[in-house]
């Protein structure tokens, strides 16, 4: 078997769980769009060339060393991060209409890209690439774009993050070692969700209070993403754990 089609594209919300996909080691084509899948781990499916997983509820899409992957369509999901830096043969990438904060295109040659779209990810500030001028020449970002090509984390940090104080919301300290605090100067904080860099949900709190603390002491050092609902808005912030 070299193709796997999961669900019926004409019927909404059929399949929720893709556990066992690693057993289909020889597939080159995967179609699983228009379901309610929230996690998809394709790190063991190293022969994949085409992946169509759009229009699900994906918060985690794990791609390992898939050197043959040339077409990835993961738009209209709930992804907060996407790393395709090991998928060096990529030609088509559709990741628009997600909740992306982190997009890693390093090791990808823009000369080989036929089509790429990442619009409608309002919290996506930094797109990591090897050569930002090179990418800007092939796929220019407009002067009014919220997105920026960067080569290092330092460049990304220099761009700054959203000023949540202007939205009457303060998150501190960041970087954090133990306790992280979220303080609302007006109203109450709503839902608080913490994700790791792969998009795995680590923590969920329905706060309904003006001050909420999160315990980071058990988490490994690295980058995390904090999603908060506040005053009818959904805000996302990158958190660094020391």
Where do the structural domains in the chain lie, given as residue ranges? 3-159, 164-241
Architecture of the structural domain at 164-241 = Sandwich (2.60)
113 φ, ψ (degrees, to nearest 5) = -80, 125
Whether 181 has a pLDDT exceeding 60, the answer reads: yes
Q: Where are the alpha helices (DSSP H) in the chain?
A: 132-138, 153-159
Spatial distance between the Cα atoms of 216 and 203, rounded to a whole number of angstroms: 10
In the structure, what pLDDT confidence band is assigned to residue 111 with cuts at 50, 70 and 90?
Answer: very high
Spatial distance between the Cα atoms of 68 and 65, rounded to a whole number of angstroms: 9
Q: What is the mean pLDDT of residues 30-35?
A: 94
pLDDT the model gives residue 112: 95
169 φ, ψ (degrees, to nearest 5) = -135, 130
In the structure, what pLDDT confidence band is assigned to residue 144 with cuts at 50, 70 and 90?
Answer: low
Alpha-carbon Rg of the chain, whole angstroms? 19
Task: For 64-114, give the DSSP string.
Answer: -S-TT--EEE--SS--SEEE-TT-TT--EEE--SS--SEEE-TT--GGG-S
pLDDT tens track for 198-208: 788 899 999 99
Spatial distance between the Cα atoms of 215 and 217, rounded to a whole number of angstroms: 6
Sort strands 211-215 and 179-184 into parallel, antiparallel or unpaired: antiparallel
Per the CB < 8 A criterion, the answer to whether 53 and 71 are in contact is no
Query: For residue 147, what are the contacts with CB-CB under 8 A and spacing of at least 6?
Result: 118, 121, 124, 125, 126, 127, 141
- CATH code of 3-159, in short, is 3.80.10.10
Spatial distance between the Cα atoms of 116 and 151, rounded to a whole number of angstroms: 19
Per the CB < 8 A criterion, the answer to whether 186 and 226 are in contact is no
pLDDT the model gives residue 9: 61
> How far is the first Cα of the chain from the last one, in angstroms, to the nearest whole number?
45
pLDDT tens track for 184-227: 888 899 999 998 887 888 999 999 999 999 999 999 999 898 88
Per the CB < 8 A criterion, the answer to whether 56 and 33 are in contact is yes
Per the CB < 8 A criterion, the answer to whether 228 and 238 are in contact is no
Residue that is written with structure tokens 């499916």 in the block: 45
């Amino acid at each position: 078997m070299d193709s796997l089609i999961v669900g019926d594209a004409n019927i909404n919300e059929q399949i929720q769980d893709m556990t066992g996909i690693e057993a289909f080691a020889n597939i080159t084509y995967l179609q699983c769009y228009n379901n309610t899948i929230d996690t998809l781990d394709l790190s063991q499916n190293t022969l994949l060339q085409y992946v169509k997983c759009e229009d699900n509820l994906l918060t985690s899409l794990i791609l390992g060393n898939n050197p043959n992957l040339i077409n990835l369509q993961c738009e209209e999901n709930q992804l907060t991060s996407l790393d395709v830096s090991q998928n060096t043969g990529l030609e088509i990438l559709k990741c628009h209409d997600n909740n992306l904060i982190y997009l890693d295109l390093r090791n990808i040659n823009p000369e080989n890209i036929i089509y790429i779209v990442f619009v409608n990810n309002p919290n996506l500030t930094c797109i990591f690439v090897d050569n930002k001028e090179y990418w800007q020449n092939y796929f220019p970002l407009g002067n009014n774009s919220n997105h920026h090509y960067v080569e290092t984390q330092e460049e990304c940090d220099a761009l700054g993050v959203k000023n949540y104080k202007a939205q009457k919301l303060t998150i501190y300290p960041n970087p954090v070692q133990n306790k992280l605090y979220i303080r609302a100067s007006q109203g109450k904080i709503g839902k608080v969700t913490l994700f790791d860099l792969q998009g795995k949900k680590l923590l969920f709190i329905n706060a309904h209070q003006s001050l909420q603390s999160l315990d980071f002491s058990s988490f490994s050092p690295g980058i995390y993403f904090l999603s908060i609902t506040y005053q009818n808005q959904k805000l996302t912030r990158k958190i660094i754990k020391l």
